A and B are shown apart, each in its own frame.
Chain A
Amino acid sequence: MIKGFFLCLALCVATAFAPCDADARKRPAQKSEAQIQEELNVFVFSYVEKANKRLSVNRAKPKVTREGGKYVARFTEIDPSSVTAEVRPSKSKHFQYVARLRYHEMTYECEGKTRKAALKGPWKCVNVRRLTEMPRYAKGKWEN
Chain B
Amino acid sequence: MKIRTSLMALALVMGLASASQAADLVRKVDSFDLVADQSGSMMMKMEGTKMTKAAGAKQVLTSIVEALPDLGYKGSAHTVAPAAGVTAYGDFDRAAMKSGIAGLKTEGEIFGKMTPMGDGLHVLAAGYANMARPTAVVLASDGANNEGLDPVAEVVSIYQAQPGLCFHVVSFADTKEGQAVLDQIAGLKDCSVSVKGSDLLADQKALNQFVADVFYGEGVEDALVLHGVNFAFNSYALDAKAQGVLDEAAAALKDKKVNITLEGWTDSIGTDAYNKKLSQNRANAVKAYLVEQGVPASTINAVGMGKSFKFDNATEEGRYLNRRVEFIFN
Q: CB < 8 Å: which of B245, B252, B317 contacts A54? A: B317
B310 touches A55 (CB 8 A): yes
Q: B244, A129: Cβ atoms under 8 Å? A: no
CB of A82 within 8 A of CB of B189, answer no
Tell me whether chain A's interface is mostly helix, strand or loop, or mixed.
Answer: mixed
Q: Which of A7-15, A16-24, A45-53 contacts B (4 or more CB under 8 A)?
A: A45-53
Chain A residues, CB < 8 A from B163? 120-122
Q: Is A81 an interface residue (CB 8 A)?
A: yes
Name the distance in Å between B312's Cβ and chain A's nearest Cβ: 5
Chain A minimum-CB-distance residue to B27:
A125
**Do A81 and B321 touch (CB < 8 A)?**
no
A51 CA to B315 CA in the complex, in Å?
Answer: 12
> Do residues A124 and B28 form an inter-chain contact, with CB atoms below 8 A?
yes
Q: Is the CB of B309 within 8 A of A144?
A: no
In the assembled complex, which residues on chain A have CB atoms less than 8 Å from the CB atom of B247? 91-92, 94
Q: Which of A106, A123, A143 has the most CB of B within 10 A?
A: A123
Known: A56-B310, A122-B189. A132 touches B134 (CB 8 A): no
Q: Closest Cβ of chain B: how far from A41's Cβ, in Å?
A: 5
CA distance A29 to B298 in the complex (A): 46
Partner of A82, one of B15, B135, B251: B15
Q: Check if B203 is an interface residue, CB within 8 A of chain A.
A: no
Task: Return chain B residues, CB-CB under 8 Å to A104.
Answer: 26, 219
B164 touches A122 (CB 8 A): yes
Interface residue count for A (Cβ, 8 Å)? 47
A122 neighbours in B (Cβ, 8 Å): 133-135, 163-166, 189, 191
Q: A55-B310, A92-B247, A136-B245 are in contact. Are A127 and B220 (CB under 8 A)?
A: yes
B14 in contact (CB, < 8 A): yes
| A81 engages B225 (CB within 8 Å) | no
Q: Can you list 27 residue pairs at the A/B interface with Cβ under 8 Å?
A: A44-B16, A45-B9, A51-B321, A54-B311, A54-B317, A55-B311, A55-B312, A56-B309, A81-B72, A83-B12, A83-B15, A85-B16, A92-B244, A94-B243, A98-B248, A106-B26, A121-B164, A122-B134, A123-B134, A124-B166, A125-B28, A129-B220, A131-B225, A133-B227, A134-B245, A134-B252, A144-B228
A82-B26, A132-B222, A132-B252 known; 10 new pairs, CB 8 Å cut-off, are A44-B12, A45-B8, A80-B15, A81-B72, A95-B244, A106-B26, A122-B191, A127-B220, A127-B221, A136-B244
